[in-house]
Amino acid sequence: MRHFLVFMFLVFAGLFGALFLKNSRDPNKDSRPILKIYASSSFIKQWGPGPWLKEKFESTCDCKVEYNDAADSVLLMQKLKSENRGGGADLVLGFDQYDLEMAQKGIEWKPIKIESLNFYEPVRATLSRTHFIPYDWGVLAFLVRQSEVKELPKSFDDLLMPEFAGQISLQDPRTSSPGLQFLLWLISVKGEEEAFQFLKKFNAQVKSYGANWSMSYGLFQKNQVKSTLSWVTSPVFHLLEEKNSDIVAVEFKEGHPIQFEYVGIPATCKNCDLAEKFVKLLLSKEGQKVIMEKNFMFPVIQGVRDGTVFESIPNYKLMDMNVIPTIAERERILKKWTQLRRAE
Amino acid sequence: MFAAFIESVKYVGHLIPLAFLRVFLGYYYLQQALVKFHGDFLNRPRLAAQIAEVLPTVDASYWYKSLVEKLLIQHWQGLAFFILGIEFAIAISYLLGYVVRPVAILGALLAFNMMILTGPQYEDLYRVFFAMHLAMAWVGAGRCLGFDYYFFKRRRGIWW
């Protein structure tokens, strides 16, 4: 036991010493400007597009790119607001269309100038916002394994079939963007009253409302549910990484909602020119291809999908969901959803 | 001591496959610890954010959740330092085959907690680690191609 205690003491003392040395060397290590980017974990992680974009950008900018992991958009917003005076971030990635109103409250953003690029039709409608530019987009849909279902569902009502009882995983709309999109999608298809009537029956089909997409998708990957809400590009991941063509995104006759991911430059940025250059890289053909292949989302620029497996994804019927409910309206809907869940 | 290291092959040679697994695990933990050391694991509350996200959905007793929320998440830098220290300890111990039994118990405890706290996507991974650490502790995997054999021969006892 004495050996063990001495061993543990030496390891921790060694670690402490190594950290002390590391920190004492840091300040003089690099005098290049640092481009601070706040982004989601999936963007930054080894398998995301972040590392490639960082390497590519650093090879030309004589600067350093530093990513800051933002767990979710709410935390990100709080962080940005608290740092507004100090100017923490030079660039922020990962807001969707529902976050923009919140993002503009209490935080000032710089307008972003972009060259005339060949954007996809659904993306063009979002370009009227000069402070936020979309860098990828996706279409939400329910995924199923073809071999597990008798017939592919073609509408929300088909999800009420007995074979889906307790077999659907969804995201909690209070904490997850796709979860919120599902609720708004349902309301725009059925109207609010009918949507909540539908949810009373539908909730019996849902095995769990995960706090985020990864959790609900994890249940689907582990074969614990037959269906989950994700993006129409998700089957491509399984096709490329697992050679599994059994997973498909089903098309609903009602149409599908779109999610855009935006980039913005806070007005308090310190390296604003570098931030604008990074946006150019994001929107370049090379950058868009990497985002598409690593994030498994659609590129915003036309021509990038050509000759790739993403080209084979059919065009789903899209819904016009350009009317974004206000924060107050969303809170009212979420409160109603919470009450419905509590009453079960 | 070095003679005992080699001698162990003669007397507990049947444990060589397990010694291989031990060294492999040690190498894996060393890699993970070095990535964390050179990255921002100690500077950014990534693990704490991940735990905070998963915690509401965890099926655990109130006192455990409360302990995690009030102690571990709030003092995330201490938690990160502690985890990194344990990972280095596991790496060194497994690579050298020194104090493997108590370190393996520590590793099993760490894997068990990570299994609960890091969400469904890592659950299987940590479950396998938990089982492997238990096996290391049970067998006393440091006795073959490890310095534990030297102490085992001279001192005996449950710790070698």
Contact between B119 and A215 using a beta-carbon 8 Å cutoff: yes
- Choose between A117 and A252: higher pLDDT: A252
pLDDT grade for A212, boundaries at 50, 70 and 90: confident
Residues B94, B109: Cα–Cα separation, whole Å: 16
Q: Which of A15, A68, A218 minimises the CB distance to B120?
A: A218
Range of the domain at B124: 2-46+81-154
| Check whether domain A138-258+317-343 has CATH 3.40.630.10, yes or no | no
For residue B51, tell me if it sits in a domain.
no
- In the block, which residue shows the tokens 């982004």? A39
Whether the per-residue pLDDT at A207 is higher than 80: the answer is: yes
What is the biggest distance separating any 2 CA atoms in chain B, rounded to whole angstroms?
53
- Choose between B47 and A28: higher pLDDT: B47
A10 Cβ neighbours under 8 A, 6+ residues apart: none
Whether the per-residue pLDDT at A70 is higher than 60: the answer is: yes
From A91-105, A306-320, B42-56, B111-125, the region with the lowest mean pLDDT: B42-56
* Bridge partners (DSSP) listed for residue A143: A228, A249
Contact between B151 and A3 using a beta-carbon 8 Å cutoff: yes
Residue B125: both structure tokens together? 């991974």
pLDDT grade for A84, boundaries at 50, 70 and 90: low
pLDDT above 70 as % of chain A? 94
Q: Sign of torsion, CA B145 B151 B152 B157? A: negative
pLDDT grade for B43, boundaries at 50, 70 and 90: confident
Whether the per-residue pLDDT at A184 is higher than 80: the answer is: yes
pLDDT tens, A302-319? 999 999 999 999 999 998
Contact between B92 and A11 using a beta-carbon 8 Å cutoff: yes
For residue B57, tell me if it sits in a domain.
no
pLDDT grade for A73, boundaries at 50, 70 and 90: low
Whether the per-residue pLDDT at A299 is higher than 60: the answer is: yes
A75 contact B CB<8A: yes
pTM of the model: 0.64
C-alpha distances out from residue B104 to A4, A207, B89, B94, Å: 11, 36, 10, 9
Q: Region A240-261: what's the mean pLDDT?
A: 92
Q: Region B91-101: what's the mean pLDDT?
A: 91
Q: What is the model's pLDDT at position B70?
A: 79
Question: In 3-state terms, what secondary structure has residue A138?
Answer: strand
CATH level 3 topology of A32-137+259-312: D-Maltodextrin-Binding Protein; domain 2 (3.40.190)
A215 contact B CB<8A: yes
**A contacts of B56 (beta carbons < 8 Å):** 211
C-alpha distances out from residue A93 to A41, A126, A182, Å: 11, 16, 22
Contact between B120 and A69 using a beta-carbon 8 Å cutoff: no
Contact between B119 and A218 using a beta-carbon 8 Å cutoff: yes
CATH 3.40.190.10-classified regions of chain A: 32-137+259-312, 138-258+317-343
Closest listed residue to residue A157, CA positions, set A197, A112, A207, A106:
A197
Contact between B85 and A15 using a beta-carbon 8 Å cutoff: yes
A12 contact B CB<8A: yes
For residue B86, tell me if it sits in a domain.
yes
How distant is the Cα of A208 from the closest Cα of chain B, in angstroms?
10
Under 8 Å between Cβ of A158 and A142: no
For residue B68, tell me if it sits in a domain.
no
C-alpha distances out from residue A193 to A28, A184, A198, A343, Å: 62, 12, 9, 16
Contact between B49 and A71 using a beta-carbon 8 Å cutoff: yes
Number of domains in chain B: 1
A71 contact B CB<8A: yes
**B contacts of A14 (beta carbons < 8 Å):** 88
**B contacts of A12 (beta carbons < 8 Å):** 85, 89
Q: Which of A14, A69, A219 minimises the CB distance to B46?
A: A69
- In the block, which residue shows the tokens 């007005």? A267
The residue type at B160: W
Residues 46-65 of B with CB under 8 A from A: 46, 49-50, 52-54, 56-57
pLDDT grade for B67, boundaries at 50, 70 and 90: confident
Q: Which of A1, A71, A72 minimises the CB distance to B159?
A: A1
Under 8 Å between Cβ of A30 and A63: no
Q: Region A145-153: what's the mean pLDDT?
A: 92
- Choose between A255 and B52: higher pLDDT: A255
pLDDT grade for A86, boundaries at 50, 70 and 90: very low
Q: What is the model's pLDDT at position A72?
A: 63
**B contacts of A208 (beta carbons < 8 Å):** 57
**A contacts of B120 (beta carbons < 8 Å):** 215, 218-219, 222
For residue B99, tell me if it sits in a domain.
yes
Q: DSSP of A222-233, one letter per residue?
A: TTS-SEEEEETT
pLDDT grade for A160, boundaries at 50, 70 and 90: very high
pLDDT grade for B131, boundaries at 50, 70 and 90: very high
A50 Cβ neighbours under 8 A, 6+ residues apart: A39, A43, A44, A67
Residues 66-95 of B with CB under 8 A from A: 81, 84-85, 88-89, 92-93
In degrees and rounded to multiples of 5, residue A265 shows phi and psi of: -115, 115
Q: Best mutation site among B58, B92, B99, B126 for testing chain A: the one with the most A CBs within 10 Å?
A: B99
Whether the per-residue pLDDT at A28 is higher than 60: the answer is: no
- In the block, which residue shows the tokens 């704490």? B48
How many residues comprise chain B?
160
pLDDT grade for B145, boundaries at 50, 70 and 90: confident
Residues A202, B106: Cα–Cα separation, whole Å: 45
Contact between B49 and A214 using a beta-carbon 8 Å cutoff: no
A1 contact B CB<8A: yes
Contact between A7 and B119 using a beta-carbon 8 Å cutoff: no
Residues A28, A24: Cα–Cα separation, whole Å: 9
Smallest CA–CA distance from B87 into chain A, residue: A11
**A contacts of B46 (beta carbons < 8 Å):** 41, 69, 71
* Bridge partners (DSSP) listed for residue A35: A65
Closest listed residue to residue A132, CA positions, set A108, A156, A159, A164:
A108
pLDDT grade for A74, boundaries at 50, 70 and 90: low
Smallest CA–CA distance from B103 into chain A, residue: A4
> Please, which contacts does B101-104 make with residues 24 or more away whose CB atoms are closer than 8 Å?
B101/B136, B101/B137, B101/B140, B101/B142, B101/B148, B101/B158, B101/B159, B101/B160, B102/A1, B102/A4, B102/B137, B102/B159, B103/A4, B103/A7, B104/B133, B104/B134, B104/B136, B104/B137, B104/B141
Q: Region A330-335: what's the mean pLDDT?
A: 92
**B contacts of A211 (beta carbons < 8 Å):** 53-54, 56-57
For residue B61, tell me if it sits in a domain.
no
Residue A117: both structure tokens together? 């690029």
Closest listed residue to residue A338, CA positions, set A183, A227, A230:
A183
Q: What is the model's pLDDT at position B135?
A: 92
Residues B132, B17: Cα–Cα separation, whole Å: 13
pLDDT above 90 as % of chain A? 53
**A contacts of B73 (beta carbons < 8 Å):** none
A268 Cβ neighbours under 8 A, 6+ residues apart: A83, A84, A85, A86, A87, A88, A108
For residue B115, tell me if it sits in a domain.
yes
